[in-house]
Structure 1
Amino acid sequence: MLPVHLDRGRPEPLPAQLAAAVRALVTDGTLTTGDRLPSSRALAADLGVARAVVEQAYDQLLAEAWVETRRGSGTFVASGEALPVAPAPPRPASRDPRYVRLDAGTPWIDPRHLAGWRRAWREVSVARPPRGYPDPRGGPELREALAERLARTRGLTVAPDEILVTGGTTDGLRQLLGVLDPGPVLVEDPGYRAAVETVRAAGRRVADHPATAPVTGLDGCVAAYVTPAHQHPLGRVMPAADRLALLGAARSAGAVVLEDDYDSEFRYDVAPVPALAALDRSRVAYLGTAAKSVSPGLRLGWLVAPPHLHELLVRRRTTTHDTPPWATQRALLTLLRDGWVDKVVRTARRVYAERAPRVAAALGPHATLAGPLAGMYSTWLTSADAATAARDAARAAGFDLPLLAQYCRTADLSGLVVGFGGVTDDELDRALDVLARSLAAD
Structure 2
Amino acid sequence: MTQAPHRGPHLFSRGSWPEARRIADILRKETIGGMLLLVGAVVALIWANSPWNDSYEALRGFTVGPAALHLDLSLATWAADGLLAIFFFVAGLELKREFVAGDLRDPRRAAVPIAAAVGGVVVPAVIYVLFNLSSGQGKGWAIPTATDIAFALAVLAVIGRCLPHAMRTFLLTLAVVDDLLAIVIIAVFYTASLSVLPLLAMLVPLGAFTVLVQRRVQSWWLLLPLAFATWTLMHASGVHATVAGVLLGFAVPVLRSRAAGGPEAGPGLAEHFEHRFRPLSAGVAVPVFALMSAGVAVGGLSGFGSALSDPVALGIVVGLVLGKPIGITGATWLVTRFTRARLDTSFAWVDVLGLAVLAGIGFTVSLLIGELAFGLGSDRDEHVKVAVLTGSLIAALLATVILRLRNRTYRRIHEEENLDADRDDIPDVYQRDGEERPA
Q: Same fold (TM over 0.5)?
A: no
Structure with the higher helix share, 1 or 2: 2
Structure with the higher strand share, 1 or 2: 1
Tell me which of the two structures has the higher relative contact order, counting C-alpha pairs closer than 8 angstroms and 6 or more residues apart.
Answer: 2
TM-score by length of 2: 0.28
Q: Based on CA coordinates, which of the two structures has the bigger radius of gyration?
A: 1
